[in-house]
Amino acid sequence: MKNHVIRPLFVVVGLVALILIIRVFVVPKDFGVHERGYMFGWYRKSNEGDWKTFKIKYQTSEYCKDCHSEQYKKIINSKHAKVQCENCHGPAADHPEKPEKLSIGRSRELCLRCHAYLPYRPSVYAQLPGVPITLKMQDPNVHNPGIECVTCHSTHEASLK
Amino acid sequence: MDCDRREFLKVGFKTLLATGVSIGAFELLKPEVLAALNKEKGLRWVFVVDTTKCVGCGMCVRACKLENEVPYETNVSRTWVERYVMTKDGKILVDSPKAARDGFIKNDPMGVTVKKEDIDKAFFVPKLCNQCEAPPCVQVCPVGATYQAPDGVVLVDRTWCIGCGYCIMACPYGVRFFHPLYRVAEKCNFCYHRINKGMKTACVDACAFGARQIGNIKDLEDPVARIIKTERTAVLKEEFGTKPHVFYIGLDSIVR
């Protein structure tokens, strides 16, 4: 074969070899086909572990109940029993270290998320043991507009103060 | 060889029987048969959404955004709640303002005030990633950045994603979006960090109405698996053949 054919051919072969060598170093060892096969399981295996160690922020009321036992007992015996502490107080994360203090949601909008009257909002609440109860709904334009709900109502007891 | 007809038939029949039995035994040792025998020991995450219980408070969306570090002020979200209102004159109003992060506190679907007597039917539908058994988003990824874990959850490798957006276009449910900070594809992953530590997802924990539940469909004792097996459930956009693993109770034909 003539030189002008062979020389570029060497360059191409060399380039391919170089790319393959670089690939060995760049692509992680655990990258490849895993349990779900080539179509759905072609990935870096250790990424599963990366996601598993993602930081938990919402700790659930179980996390709160030992230090705040008084408030916990109150709410667990009220009609708000299924409402998590963190729904109003925000994610606990590493509380009490970080954040040292959690916020208290007192806004009218927070209560209205469930208690504003909408014609299509399910009115029967059956999540508590015993007979289903009615979900208390109010028209926010009629029921004491402008005043915070917590002025008259106790959230932890789900009743009037 | 002296072999009369009776002897020939006897031996022939025995040989046939023996081969039949041994082939039957091989059948038992086939990998897929063995896998089926082991099925109840496996793990496959599933989700059940009871739309009849959802009141549209949006606590799930709020919890999801804060838990999974999806920037709170942006409109993107891993999960959202849709409001469907069908009026008597046949109009269907669908909205999900800010992904229902702040809940639905006014009767203003798509900015229209609809009187109670004008409504035929109306309800809320929470949406999230369906963790499909045949995920089209994974199929289209050119670099192997998104994949399905052995337990069925579809994950995104943030260090590997090149941000081409093919997966965002491929998802028939529109659950994928660009993460505004990481600039890679982002999606609901059933709070993978929580479910692997024995917790429930942030949205399930935040829901005071029991509208959301997560479980393992391969566990015969699992109450969520029991709901899917014994109750009337449906999935979204079955015609796409993606085999979604989020099952809905009380799904209506107007839900898209």
Q: Among B54, B102, B206, whose Cβ lies nearest the Cβ of A84?
A: B206
Compute the C-alpha angle A33/A37/A42, nearest 5°: 40
Residue A82: its chain B contacts at CB < 8 A? 208-210
Given this model, what pLDDT does residue B31 score?
58
Q: Cα–chain-centroid distance for residue B117?
A: 35
CB–CB of B147 and A86 under 8 A?
no
Q: What is the DSSP string of A68-101?
A: THHHHHHHHTSTTTTS-HHHHH---TBTTTBSSS
Residue B68: its chain A contacts at CB < 8 A? 54
Is A57 an 8 Å CB contact of chain B?
Answer: yes
CB–CB of A47 and B159 under 8 A?
yes
Q: Among A53, A90, A109, whose Cβ lies nearest the Cβ of B105?
A: A109
Distance from CA of B193 to the nearest CA of A (A): 4
Is A125 an 8 Å CB contact of chain B?
Answer: yes
Q: Among B55, B138, B206, whose Cβ lies nearest the Cβ of A121?
A: B55
In chain A, what is the straight-line distance between the N-terminal and C-terminal CA atoms, in Å?
98
d(CA A117, CA A120): 9
d(CA B239, CA B211): 25
Given this model, what pLDDT does residue B117 score?
95
**Beta carbons of A137 and B57 less than 8 angstroms apart:** no
Given this model, what pLDDT does residue A4 score?
87
User: pLDDT for A46-98, tens place per residue?
Assistant: 999 999 999 999 999 999 999 999 999 999 999 999 999 999 999 999 999 98
Residue A46: its chain B contacts at CB < 8 A? none
Residue A119: closest C-alpha in chain B = B116
B84, amino acid identity: Y
CB–CB of A58 and B63 under 8 A?
yes
User: pLDDT for B4-17, tens place per residue?
Assistant: 888 888 888 988 88
Is A78 an 8 Å CB contact of chain B?
Answer: no
CB–CB of B138 and A39 under 8 A?
yes
Given this model, what pLDDT does residue B40 score?
47
d(CA A108, CA A106): 7
ipTM of the complex: 0.90
Its sign, for the CA torsion B110, B112, B116, B118, is: negative
Q: Chain B interface, mutation test: which of A43, A50, A107, most B Cβ atoms within 10 Å? A: A43
Given this model, what pLDDT does residue B22 score?
73
Q: Among A40, A52, A82, whose Cβ lies nearest the Cβ of B147?
A: A40
Which residues of chain B fall short of a pLDDT of 70? 1-2, 24-41
Bridge partners (DSSP) of residue B85 are: B93, B122
Given this model, what pLDDT does residue B229 score?
94
Q: Among A53, A58, A114, whose Cβ lies nearest the Cβ of B55?
A: A114
Q: Chain A interface, mutation test: which of B79, B147, B189, most A Cβ atoms within 10 Å? A: B147
Q: Among B56, B202, B208, whose Cβ lies nearest the Cβ of A121?
A: B56
